[in-house]
Amino acid sequence: MRNRPDHKIDELFQEAFRDFNPEPPGNVWNKIKDSVATDSNSRKKGFWVRNRLIFSIAAAFIIAAGFSSIYMDDIFPSNAKGDMFSENSVTVSNHNRPLSKTEENFLNEVSPENNTNSLAFVLPANTNSKVSEPSNTVKNYYPDISKNGYDEKTPENTKSVTIPEPEKVETVLVEEKVKQNTELVEDIINMPIVENIPIDKTINSVPEIKAVENTVFTAEENFPEIKVMVNEKDQLSIVETDLTNLPIAEKKEEVSHNFNAYFNENKSSNPEIAENKIDTAIIPDIILPIKKAKNYTPSRFAIGLHYTAENLYQLSNSKYLTDRSFRMGGSSWEVSLNFRLNNKISLGTGIGYTSYSENVYFNVDGEKTTIIDSLYNGSEWEYITETETVSYREMLTNNYSFIRLPLFLRYKIVENNRFSLHFTGGGIFSQVMDKREKVLQLPNDITISSTERVTPFQSNYSFLLVTGLNLHYQVSNFVTLGTDLMFKRNITNYYETGGTIMKTPYSVGIRGSVYFNL
Amino acid sequence: MSYNKENTVLDEKQLIKQCLKKDERAMEELYKYFSPRLFGICLRYTKNRMEAEDLLHDGFIRILNNLENYRHEGSFQGWVCKIMVTSAINYYHKNISRNKETDLNEMGSEELMDNDINSFISHNELLEMVRKLPDGYKMVFNLFVIEGYSHKEIAARLNVSENTSKTQLLKARKALQNMIFTEKKMTYEKSA
């Protein structure tokens, strides 16, 4: 589990603590013992209480047996006094030697109250072990410490012991360890001391910043705090975002900020930072203030208000107006509801009111008769007239209003700070709401032979395709302004009759928009 | 005496069995066997010996209480040490609000100054350096460098982010380097 040291300091400390086994003070075990005893006593009490009936019967039996044995001994006396040493036990051969320091310490640990200058072990037969320094291995025995020396009889229930041959202690090459330690320390001393953890200055492109949702970063006095991380080069670098693309349009020099200096500068004015003293307890992620232009996380829904000024152009294929383009000016007001699918795509629909002024041309063909002279023939006057063919054109202006129902899709092409450029595509259903058409007033002195109404518009409804480029500017988290260049094309002819066809008109317009983010 | 190699090995299963029966002698044997190693761990994670003793006490009680959960898989020593490290982390969390700022220039009374003019730094000195680290640095340094945890594991155990763990390690190394440099500089100046 130990990590391979990738730093001299790591190596130095790993080596130092590899075999670091200091002896704890003796009182710790006593405390542990007391804690365990307290715990088991509380369990034992329960045990005795639960089984008090059984123990009561057992105690009565033992007492009775004890009384009976007294009387039995009187009846059947015995001279047998068993030797308290087991036949198979031998005392330690060199029991008279003084204890070594280690053995004395061992005795103190095992049974301080019984510490004497000697100890006796009861060994199995055929063992001729001498007391040796206890090693770190656990001895599977329970030494019986005698108070007065080796030859005191030990109780029969002393367990037989096996003193293992001491392990061969590994020879520690102290000189080698010292040398290794010294070399590491020398290397560490000669390493450059990094005063400040450097900020990663290798950001070549505008990085993406992890944005807190609905946060508006300001480019003013209050620097927002951007989370940074330690990268693989052990440098602090800006965390990349996986939420939104909010590029920084700032200079790289501004990004390179010494966070230590920031803490020192701001701890007095920022209590939260003051609490997180950098040289003490664990602090949250390193927070680095970076100047950043305003940007926003757009909301899901937005209501738009739009005004469009446009010109309708069309070509006529009339026998009178061959390949002549007409222009019809108009304007429209719209309210739209926009739904942002994701950071790139929005859907929109709405309702609009469009008014056009239609120039209606009347081609008038007629004859105009003019009296040029008069003669009296005795009974009546005779008039001499001159007739001329008259052909002229009258223009009237009609006004039409339409209701329009658009449906469109907007795609964000590019975004930079608060500006964004979109492409829009969609369709519009247009229905005439009102027509105000003027009546042609013809002169009385002309005999009208024919008139032909040349009007670019006669259909009551039409379908249009719309495309456009939209430039948006985020004013605030709530308001966005937009300027659109819109191009619309009717997919149905406005007028077709006889030999006159008004080809599908198109319009080009500029639209101004205000969006309110919900 | 015939040497029986089996007797030199800690009879883990037997000892654990006895400890589970609350045999005091068995528990004491267990304690004697592992306490030096565990105390070494405690010294690294605490500021002073008193805290280390408290931690050793709490950690060993936890070991005894969790013995029944030991599955005899892997090294028993490793399992025991892991429990102690967990106790150290819990101890840290419990005392985190009471931790005062450590003066990195303060020299503890228990420190043994190495007056040798060479660059050797003793275990005790290195221990003191680790103990003088601020708690956050100390935890991450011990867990990463000595115990071998990954930053991800450290972050999960200390309830911080991986970034914090990495940063704390950087700072710990920097602080230790400064301490080594300062001490050796003082030593050289003394001997000069």
Beta bridge partners of A352: A334, A404
Lowest mean pLDDT among A219-223, A414-418, B37-41: A219-223
Å from B13 to nearest chain A CA?
A: 13
Q: Do A36 and B27 touch (CB under 8 A)?
A: yes
The predicted structure's pLDDT at residue A125: 36
In the structure, what pLDDT confidence band is assigned to residue B188 with cuts at 50, 70 and 90?
A: low
Which whole number is the average pLDDT over A450-477?
76
- To test the contact with chain B by mutation, choose from A8, A47, A93, A138 the residue with the greatest count of B C-beta atoms within 10 A, namely A138
Is the pLDDT assigned to residue A202 strictly greater than 70? no
In the structure, what pLDDT confidence band is assigned to residue A133 with cuts at 50, 70 and 90?
A: very low
How many A/B residue pairs have CB atoms within 8 Å?
199
Read off the pLDDT of residues B55-75 as tens digits, 9 standing for 90 and up: 999 999 999 998 888 888 788
Q: Do A165 and B119 touch (CB under 8 A)?
A: no
Read off the pLDDT of residues A152-193 as tens digits, 9 standing for 90 and up: 444 444 444 444 444 444 444 667 777 778 888 878 777 765
Q: Do B168 and A24 touch (CB under 8 A)?
A: no
Residue A214: DSSP 8-state: T
Å from B114 to nearest chain A CA?
A: 13
What residue of B is the nearest CA neighbor of A285?
B164
d(CA B17, CA B26): 9
d(CA A370, CA A367): 10
In chain B, what residues touch A10 (CB-CB under 8 Å)? 145, 173
DSSP structure string for A44-105: HHHHHHHTHHHHHHHHHHHHHHHHHHHHHHHHS-------SS-TT-B--TTTTSPPPHHHHH
- Which of the pair, A245 or A102, is modelled with greater confidence? A102
The shortest CB-CB distance from A32 to any of B31, B150, B160 is to: B31
Q: Do A282 and B40 touch (CB under 8 A)?
A: no
Find tokens 């599908």 and name the residue.
A504
The shortest CB-CB distance from A33 to any of B24, B52, B149 is to: B24
Q: Identify the CA nearest to B47 among candidates B101, B83, B86, B87.
A: B101
The shortest CB-CB distance from A127 to any of B1, B136, B150 is to: B1
Is the pLDDT assigned to residue A431 strictly greater than 80? yes
Is the pLDDT assigned to residue A406 strictly greater than 90? yes
Q: Do B64 and A36 touch (CB under 8 A)?
A: yes
In chain B, what residues touch A190 (CB-CB under 8 Å)? none
CA A469 to chain centroid, in Å, comes to: 32
The predicted structure's pLDDT at residue A352: 93
A176 touches chain B (CB under 8 A): no
Which whole number is the average pLDDT over A282-300?
45
- Which of the pair, A465 or A235, is modelled with greater confidence? A465
Is the pLDDT assigned to residue A123 strictly greater than 80? no
In chain A, what residues touch B87 (CB-CB under 8 Å)? none
A3 touches chain B (CB under 8 A): yes
Q: Tell which A residues from 222 to 281 touch B, by Cβ distance under 8 Å.
A: 228-230, 234, 236, 277-281
A145 touches chain B (CB under 8 A): no
Q: Do A13 and B180 touch (CB under 8 A)?
A: no
A174 touches chain B (CB under 8 A): no
Which stretch, A61-75, A164-178, B5-19, B83-97, has highest mean pLDDT? B83-97
In the structure, what pLDDT confidence band is assigned to residue A151 with cuts at 50, 70 and 90?
A: very low
Q: Do B177 and A193 touch (CB under 8 A)?
A: yes
In the structure, what pLDDT confidence band is assigned to residue A126 with cuts at 50, 70 and 90?
A: very low
Å from A132 to nearest chain B CA?
A: 13
Task: Specify the pTM.
Answer: 0.41
Is the pLDDT assigned to residue B185 strictly greater than 80? no
Q: Do A28 and B35 touch (CB under 8 A)?
A: yes
Phi, psi of B56, rounded to the nearest 5 degrees: -60, -40
Burial class (CB in 10 A: 0-12, 13-18, 19+), A487: middle
Count the neighbouring beta carbons within 10 Å of the beta carbon of residue A135. 15
Q: Do A185 and B126 touch (CB under 8 A)?
A: no
- To test the contact with chain A by mutation, choose from B2, B4, B8, B65 the residue with the greatest count of A C-beta atoms within 10 A, namely B8
d(CA A64, CA A61): 5
Share of chain A above pLDDT 90, in %: 13
d(CA A120, CA A131): 9
In chain B, what residues touch A12 (CB-CB under 8 Å)? 121, 126
**What's the mean pLDDT when you consider all of chain B?**
79
Is the pLDDT assigned to residue A220 strictly greater than 70? no
A162 touches chain B (CB under 8 A): yes
The shortest CB-CB distance from A16 to any of B11, B126, B171 is to: B126
The predicted structure's pLDDT at residue A189: 75
In the structure, what pLDDT confidence band is assigned to residue A224 with cuts at 50, 70 and 90?
A: very low
**What's the mean pLDDT when you consider all of chain A?**
63
Phi, psi of A55, rounded to the nearest 5 degrees: -70, -30
Q: Do B24 and A182 touch (CB under 8 A)?
A: no
A33 touches chain B (CB under 8 A): yes
The predicted structure's pLDDT at residue B7: 44
Is the pLDDT assigned to residue B146 strictly greater than 80? yes
- Which of the pair, A259 or B5, is modelled with greater confidence? A259
Count the neighbouring beta carbons within 10 Å of the beta carbon of residue A8. 20
| Cβ neighbours for A412, distance < 8 A, ≥ 6 positions apart | A343, A344, A345, A346, A420, A421, A422
Lowest mean pLDDT among A39-53, A102-116, A203-217, B8-22: A203-217
Q: Detail the DSSP E strand segments found in B133-188.
A: none
d(CA A486, CA A468): 4
What residue of A is the nearest CA neighbor of B14?
A140
Which whole number is the average pLDDT over A442-463?
65
Is the pLDDT assigned to residue A147 strictly greater than 50? no
In chain A, what residues touch B163 (CB-CB under 8 Å)? 228-230, 285-286
Containing A22, the helix (H) or strand (E) segment is: none
Q: Do B173 and A182 touch (CB under 8 A)?
A: no
Is the pLDDT assigned to residue B125 strictly greater than 70? yes
- Which of the pair, A47 or A158, is modelled with greater confidence? A47
d(CA A126, CA A123): 8
d(CA A395, CA B145): 93
- Residue A294 near residue A215 (C-beta atoms within 8 A): no
The predicted structure's pLDDT at residue B70: 86
Lowest mean pLDDT among A155-159, A229-233, A247-251, B72-76: A247-251
Which whole number is the average pLDDT over B93-103?
58
What residue of A is the nearest CA neighbor of B158?
A282
In the structure, what pLDDT confidence band is assigned to residue B108 with cuts at 50, 70 and 90?
A: very low
Which tokens go with A351?
């309702």
- Residue B41 near residue B83 (C-beta atoms within 8 A): no
The predicted structure's pLDDT at residue A395: 74
- Residue A301 near residue A516 (C-beta atoms within 8 A): no
Which whole number is the average pLDDT over A322-326?
55
Which whole number is the average pLDDT over A71-93?
37
In the structure, what pLDDT confidence band is assigned to residue B85 with cuts at 50, 70 and 90?
A: very high
Å from A33 to nearest chain B CA?
A: 8
What residue of B is the nearest CA neighbor of A180?
B120
| Cβ neighbours for A148, distance < 8 A, ≥ 6 positions apart | A116
d(CA A482, CA A348): 14
In chain A, what residues touch B29 (CB-CB under 8 Å)? 138
